[in-house]
Amino acid sequence: MTVTVQSLADTTGAQHFAPATEADAASIIADLAARGTPVELTGGGTKRGVGRMPNAGATLSSARLTGIVAYQPTEMVLTARAGTPLADIEAELARNGQRLAFEPADWRGLTGTTGEPTIGAVAATNNSGPRRFVAGAARDALLGVRFVNGLGEAVKNGGRVMKNVTGLDLVKLMAGSWGTLGFLTEVTFKVLPVPETEATLVLHGLSDVDAAKAMAAAMATHAEVSGAAHLPELMSAQVLEGALKSDAATLLRLEGLSSSVSVRLAFLQTHFSMHQQSVLDAEQSALLWREIRDVTPLHPLRANDRRPVWRVSMAPDSAVLMVDALRRQAGLAVFYDWQGGLAWLRMEADPEAGALRETMKRFGGGHATLIRADAATRAAVAAFEPQSGPADALQKRIKAAFDPAGIFNPGRMGF
């Protein structure tokens, strides 16, 4: 068989592969597994700064596996090869008045990486933005996958039952696996129509605790809020080129038909009449939520700014209490998304991993992921939430079934 692949060696001797077909990828992986060569799996490379860098002798990229395989707008389902740039996917959907409802984020500005985000990496990292808490995550919209496992076998969702993991949903397992279980070659996503318009109600001057209460109250109404975030004092000055000024801003997004948005907005304005308010029109609202999605408030202010940034998922009413307690131990900057259930934290000096995770446990626990840090910190700190007991055993069992030789992104997620 002729393998269509680009292969180069860098100054360390590591080989870099970019197969043009799934069959080529399978052949390469089978050879690497036979030789026991660890391999870093990548898409566009925009999230290489997350987690520990694998000590790999090779890199396997999906960059040449591109193109939309099937898309019928009336069926609202799109299938594309894993290396297809996300921008190409979004442009094709926009031409048909559709979108990926879970709002995949672009972290290049946050992490200082380059390259192009790919649709395969969206699936592999379960990349989900502000609408996730009402529309679901990327894994909820992911309908099907094709990938190559650690034995060099091509696997299609539903086409094979993996040894020792019978009954587990392969699609859900691949979503958020960060390239540790298989090399994605093709993904299928559910898509949804783009609403006619949107608007955002801004409540000014609320504390973190009061903002959490306001967001919960808004979600309990019939207003159908599709975005709920809170920017504490000073954080609000980092979005919309400072248009929100520097006082705290609690953000409530409404989407849909123009007539519906107007009625629901008026309802929320009355509901929160005790608070100072302002309203962002459709253009301003769309820009604001892109900046929330892409974590713009915590973008580095200088090129060498590698202050640690954590992504913390907790129950909304617990997250604000956890942050308040942590502030007494460490200097930090913070803003909230997902109705307060997602806290983005920037530590002013050390990563404070131990203090963060211990404080989280005191307030009910959750998941903390180190998204940005310098190389030394990434090597020393568990970037992903450590598992223990049955969860750890299951994780290792799944890893062994998908990747028996342990060659895929070794160490990236701590195993």
Domain 68-193 has CATH 2.40.37.20: no
Please state the domain extents for the chain.
5-63, 68-193, 197-297, 300-389
Task: Give the pLDDT score at 158.
Answer: 41
Contacts of 39 (CB under 8 A, 6+ apart): 29, 32, 54, 56, 57, 58, 59, 60, 407, 408, 409
Task: Give the pLDDT score at 14.
Answer: 75
Low-confidence ranges of the chain (pLDDT < 50): 1-4, 11, 158-166
Q: At what angle do helices 316-327 and 208-219 cross, to 10 degrees?
A: 170
197-297 and 300-389 agree in CATH topology: yes
* Cβ–Cβ under 8 Å, residues 355 and 343: no
Task: Give the pLDDT score at 157.
Answer: 74
Instruction: Count the neighbouring beta carbons within 10 Å of the beta carbon of residue 252.
Output: 26
Strand order in the sheet with 15-19: 5-9, 15-19, 58-61, 39-42
Map tokens 């195993």 to a residue: 415
| Residue whose C-alpha is closest to residue 122's, from 95, 97, 153, 90 | 90
* Cβ–Cβ under 8 Å, residues 128 and 121: no
Domain 300-389 has CATH 3.30.460: no
pTM of the model: 0.93
Distance CA 160, CA 153 (A): 10
Distance CA 153, CA 32 (A): 13
Task: Give the pLDDT score at 52.
Answer: 80
DSSP letter assigned to residue 132 = H
Task: Give the pLDDT score at 167.
Answer: 55
The CATH class of the 197-297 domain is alpha beta
Task: Give the pLDDT score at 369.
Answer: 95
